[in-house]
Structure formats: C-alpha cells, structure tokens
Chain A
C-alpha cells in the first residue's frame, strides 16, 4: 500500500514557480500518480497525471524520478487564484475489486501572496 506524504503548507508570491513534492515510497508497479486541486466548498479538480519521467499540460508539469518514490507538481508563475489545497493520489488505474485503497496525500495548502 503506497502511503503518501506531502508538506502541510507552502507559501509563495505571485509570479513565482511553485514545486510541491509528494513522497510515495511503496508505490506499486502499476500505480499512477494523479494530482488534484481543491478550493474551499468545492470538489477536487484534476490537474495532471503521470507514470514516469515528465508530463506537462497547459496548467502544470509533473516530474517523476526513475525510482518513482516521489513526484513533484510544478506550477509555473502562480497567481492569487492558485491558492488552494493540492492532493496527490497514487493508485492503479486498471485495478478492480474490493478493498481498493486509493491513497490520497494529506494535502498541501498553497497560499499565494501578492
């Protein structure tokens, strides 16, 4: 079971690049890493997903080292509206069955300051 660990909080200033790291030492071979963003009183929103190396989309990049024991979400040039809680999730996309443990991180509260 891949337990995940994230920093509880981070502060940044507008325009800076923010990197949030999630540790998942026991990640399984078939597990993917997914990151979500959550604003107060809303459900999480998908940001990015990856298996290894680097993935980039229009809002973020995800860096996964070769041993896959951690992953780093990179948000370029953050703005005030990026203030939110960010969660990493480790799980097997294709797995089916009972007692599935999708391991969400505890979440990182990112506060972007003006």
Chain B
C-alpha cells in the first residue's frame, strides 16, 4: 500500500511569508502528527490530529498551526516565517496515535527561509 506522502518536497520562502505543507496519510490511518527536524534542535514534536481534531500539541508558537480534513489528509501552516523556521518538516500517520508502533513517517518537506 502507498506510504505517507508529503508535498511539496522542497520549498523556498522569504521571511515574513507564510507557507502551507500537505500530508497524505496511509489509507485507514486517522492520526497524523507533525515534527520539525533541524541540526540544532533535533527532532521536535509539533502537533497531532486525530479524526479532524487536534489531540496533542508540542511547545511551538501559535505561528505554527494545522488542520485535518475528513479524509485524514492534513495541512500544516506556518505564518510570518522566520529564518529559524528553516527545517525538515515531517509528518507521520498511524491508526491510533503518536507513539503507535505502527507509526509511519513521510519523506518530509525541506523548507528554506531566506
């Protein structure tokens, strides 16, 4: 079956702009979670959506937001981009949640903020 897909794979934006990233989970998975990965801070949890509701949220500012649609596809939005937002943004999907042993990650979207 198809894996987790993320679009776009690469993105270049300038400071102050906003960006929307998309994640399509594995068919049947209702949990979609988002992570930020940077060389300095490592892998950090952003938030999780389950059945269109945000169920868990990490310690990120309100500029980072997301949503989930009825087909479980999810989008993440970052407003007023800062240079420090340059990172690999990963999404993962599973049946039950963020620490599910059947959680699968997508390849990520590489965001560069200039």
Q: Which residues of A contact B (CB under 8 A)?
A: 32, 34, 41-46, 49, 87, 89, 91-93, 95-102, 104-107
A-B contact count (CB 8 A): 66
Return A40 CB to nearest CB of chain B, in Å.
11
Does B42 make an interface contact (CB < 8 A)? Answer: yes
Closest to A87 in B: B43
Q: Is the CB of B56 within 8 A of A44?
A: no
Q: B99: which of A32, A42, A87, A98 is its contact (CB, 8 Å)?
A: A32
Question: Are B107 and A100 in contact, CB atoms less than 8 angstroms apart?
Answer: no
Is B4 located at the chain interface by the 8 A CB criterion? yes
Kindly list chain A residues whose C-beta atoms are within 8 Å of the C-beta of B105.
Answer: 42-45
Are A43 and B45 in contact (CB-based, < 8 A)?
A: no
Q: Assess the B101–A43 pair: CB atoms within 8 A.
A: no
Are B101's CB and A49's CB within 8 A? Answer: yes
Q: Which of A41, A100, A107 has the most CB of B within 10 A?
A: A100
Q: Does B66 belong to the interface (CB within 8 Å)?
A: no
User: How long is the Cα–Cα vector from A89 to B33 in the complex, in angstroms?
Assistant: 15
Interface status of B108 (Cβ within 8 A of chain A): yes
- When C-beta atoms are compared, the residue in chain B nearest to A106 turns out to be B42
| 14 A-B pairs with C-beta separation under 8 A | A42-B108, A43-B104, A44-B90, A46-B104, A49-B101, A91-B98, A91-B99, A93-B99, A95-B56, A98-B57, A100-B58, A102-B58, A106-B42, A107-B43
